[in-house]
Amino acid sequence: MSGDNPAIEVSDLTKTYPNGVRALDGVTFSVPSGTVFGLLGPNGAGKSTTIKILTTLTRPDSGTARVAGHDVLSDAAQVRRHIGCVAQNSGVDPAATGRENLVLQGQLYGLGGGALRERVDGLLERFGLTDVAGRLVKTYSGGMRRKLDVAMGLVHEPRVLFLDEPTTGLDPEARAELWKEIVKMAAGGITVVLTTHYLEEADELADTLAILDQGGVVAHGTPENLKKALHGDSVQVLLNEPPDETVARTALANVVGVHDIVVSGREVGARVDAGADSAPALLSALESAGLRVASVTLSAPTLDEVYLRHAGRTFRSVQEGHIR
Ligand SMILES: Nc1ncnc2c1ncn2[C@@H]1O[C@H](COP(=O)(O)OP(=O)(O)OP(=O)(O)O)[C@@H](O)[C@H]1O
């Protein structure tokens, strides 16, 4: 449950790298304590730069950021004491056991003795790793390893945990298990900041989220409110053949209540003010333009459409345009 003071308060952050790239251009958001916050955006949007500032790895040119009540510039040591970070390239030693990794991590934070043993046992138990605690990490499955990564970030009982794309590369079962743990962490009072390329992950997990694009926040709120603010429904039409994009767009241009048209392969997507009223007109406009409809689906708005509305293009199209 959220506490009184925000766990993170970011105001008007800017950052230009020495090569002249303006990575952040006035980023503002806040995150209530004990909640999951999703930071979304395509490659190069400024997510990593924001996280680096919040975790005191780099400095903003201007603006302020407070994490767990401490200023990232004037009180960096306190910020570091209260945060945990789980990067994509994990810091675990594959040639050591799970337990050894956790003990070493605790020692790095000045923990030791019975308190550390208890903490490590508790984390192994919580992440279902007790039975494999004595095995070398290099023998772990991807899911087990990722759980160990997260446990490592929690050894010193941080108030804010940063998770960078925690489920990338995990199978659906391991992903679902990790999602459950993330929800539990927040219920236990930890604030979780999640960066992800998966909109459905943010939709499922995040209590609030911010979508970054080109160094600015283009949307901020709960997934529900952001979707509700779009009004209307989403229509996905599958055509028999990929259409000429101009023909499809022209066909729909004059249909009342249809907007945010996206043509991709055989699919034509659009938002309609009222699905039941607009969908028939939309279908007949396509058919009249000689485009044969194979199937049609009406659905409530998705986060991808939120992104489209605020950034002017689909999240997926931007992702696909980048080679990682
Ligand atoms: N150290 C750096 N020096 C110069 N430019 C940088 C540096 N780090 C990032 N940038 C640039 O700043 C912009 C924002 O990058 P950032 O890494 O914050 O985005 P991102 O949203 O995290 O992207 P990704 O999803 O690819 O990690 C990009 O144009 C990037 O090329």
**Are 245 and 272 in a shared domain?**
yes
Confidence of residue 323 (pLDDT cuts 50, 70, 90): very low
Tokens of 159: 């108030």
Tell how far the Cα of 47 is from the centroid of ligand 1, in angstroms.
8
pLDDT at res. 275: 61
**Are 194 and 246 in a shared domain?**
no
Write out pLDDT tens, residues 7-49.
999 999 999 999 999 999 999 999 999 999 999 988 889 999 9
Pocket test for ligand 1, best of 15, 16, 17, 89 (most atoms within 8 A of CB): 17
- Out of 48-52, 251-255, 270-274, the most confident range is 48-52
- Would you say the CB of residue 39 lies under 6 angstroms from ligand 1? no
**Are 40 and 174 in a shared domain?**
yes
Is residue 100 assigned to a domain?
Answer: yes
**Are 74 and 141 in a shared domain?**
yes
Is residue 305 assigned to a domain?
Answer: no
- Closest atom of ligand 1 to CA, residue 50: 18
Domain stop point among 184, 207, 225: 225
| Letter string b/e over residues 257-295, b meaning 16 or more CB atoms within 10 A of that residue's CB | bbebbbbeeeebbbbbeebeebbebbbebbeeeebeeee
- CA-to-CA separations, 142 to 90, 124, 171, 175, 178, in angstroms, rounded: 11, 16, 9, 10, 12
Q: Is the pLDDT of residue 262 over 50?
A: yes
Is residue 318 assigned to a domain?
Answer: no
CATH code, domain carrying 257? 3.30.70.2470
Domain extent, residue 241, equals: 231-300
CATH code, domain carrying 16? 3.40.50.300
Q: Is the pLDDT of residue 273 over 90?
A: no
Domain stop point among 225, 242, 261: 225
**Are 38 and 140 in a shared domain?**
yes
The chain-wide mean pLDDT, for the chain, equals 90
**Are 10 and 90 in a shared domain?**
yes
**Are 198 and 285 in a shared domain?**
no
**Arithmetic mean of pLDDT, 47-62:** 96
**Are 85 and 11 in a shared domain?**
yes
Cα separation, 19 vs 95, whole angstroms: 39
This complex has an ipTM of 0.96
Q: Is the pLDDT of residue 2 over 70?
A: no
Q: What percent of the chain has pLDDT over 70?
A: 94
**Are 77 and 35 in a shared domain?**
yes
Write out pLDDT tens, residues 70-108.
999 999 999 999 999 998 877 899 999 999 999 999 999
Q: What percent of the chain has pLDDT over 90?
A: 69
- Let me know if 53 is exposed, middle or buried by CB neighbors in 10 A (0-12, 13-18, 19+): buried
Q: Is the pLDDT of residue 300 over 70?
A: yes
Number of domains in the chain: 2
**Are 65 and 186 in a shared domain?**
yes
Is residue 130 assigned to a domain?
Answer: yes
Pocket test for ligand 1, best of 27, 49, 197 (most atoms within 8 A of CB): 49
pLDDT at res. 324: 31
Write out pLDDT tens, residues 216-244.
999 999 999 998 887 778 889 999 999 99
Write out pLDDT tens, residues 106-158.
999 999 999 999 999 999 999 999 999 999 999 999 889 999 999 999 999 99
**Are 142 and 11 in a shared domain?**
yes
- Would you say the CB of residue 49 lies under 6 angstroms from ligand 1? yes
